[in-house]
Amino acid sequence: MAEAHSPLAQFEIKTLADFHLGGIDASFTNASLIMVVVVGLITLFIVAGMRNAAIIPGRFQGMVEFFYEFIANLLKENTGSAGKQFFPLIFSLFMFILGANLIGLFGAITVTSHIVVTFALAFMVITIVTIVGFVKHGTHYFSYFAPAGAPMWLMPLMIPLEVISYLIRPISLSVRLFANMVAGHVMLGVLGTFVVGLGGLFFALGAIPLVAIPMIFALEVLVALLQAYVFAILTCIYLNDAIHLAH
């Protein structure tokens, strides 16, 4: 268990309601609570923004429409008109990851800093992509693992490499998000510790991290946005491969 002064203490999972189902620990934790809060805040944001929709949008309506158009354009650019049906998936993923990333900057536990959460999201994405590929193309989807134009004598080497590359997608997708969230929050925690530890005794030394914290915080907000975007655009690219079978 991480100590209170450790920068890693912010990632500690705490049980709020102990619950077991068939020998499986299904306890409600602080991470579970934050995920519920994030979904609630996103729902409230969208409902509040569109409740009194007008031709000339107000502040909230404008923000909701901005995110809607941003994801719609992202999906269209990467999958074409055939990917329109997956808008709810991409929009939900983007908003949830963005909300979870941002809420962690204000003292709450960052659920996207836990590999089990990011891997669950990534595994869901790859599972949906695979199902879409087989539903649309049937067994011809296996041709995805045989690069077009490659000579037959290279296929025994290329096919296993393509399969490994495909199976490693959820790992790379989840680790990218997890690692960036952990690194940024640890950096903020370390700088905060420097301010507390040095500020009282050596004001000049304590002022250095104190000045750096707002800049790092702004950078973390940018990273939160960027990581949600990267997760969404990679999902679009994977969907495009499944829909159009580029190989």
CA angle 113/119/120 to nearest 5° reads 110
The pLDDT of residue 188 is above 80: no
Place of tokens 């915080």: 217
For residue 109, name the pLDDT band (cuts at 50, 70, 90): confident
CA angle 159/160/161 to nearest 5° reads 90
Residue 142 — φ and ψ, nearest 5°?
A: -65, -20
For 241, the 3-state DSSP assignment is: helix
For residue 2, name the pLDDT band (cuts at 50, 70, 90): very low
For residue 1, name the pLDDT band (cuts at 50, 70, 90): very low
What Å distances lie between residue 231 and 58, 103, 178, 179, 191, CA to CA?
29, 18, 11, 13, 28
H or E stretch at 20: strand 20-21
Q: What's the full length of the chain, in residues? A: 247
Q: What is the pLDDT of residue 146?
A: 81
The pLDDT of residue 123 is above 70: yes
pLDDT tens, 41-54? 999 999 888 887 77
Distance CA 231, CA 101 (A): 12
What Å distances lie between residue 42 and 21, 49, 95, CA to CA?
29, 10, 7
Report the percentage of the chain scoring pLDDT > 70: 84
Q: What is the pLDDT of residue 217?
A: 77
Query: Whole-model pTM?
Result: 0.85
pLDDT tens, 139-167? 888 888 887 777 788 888 888 888 999 99
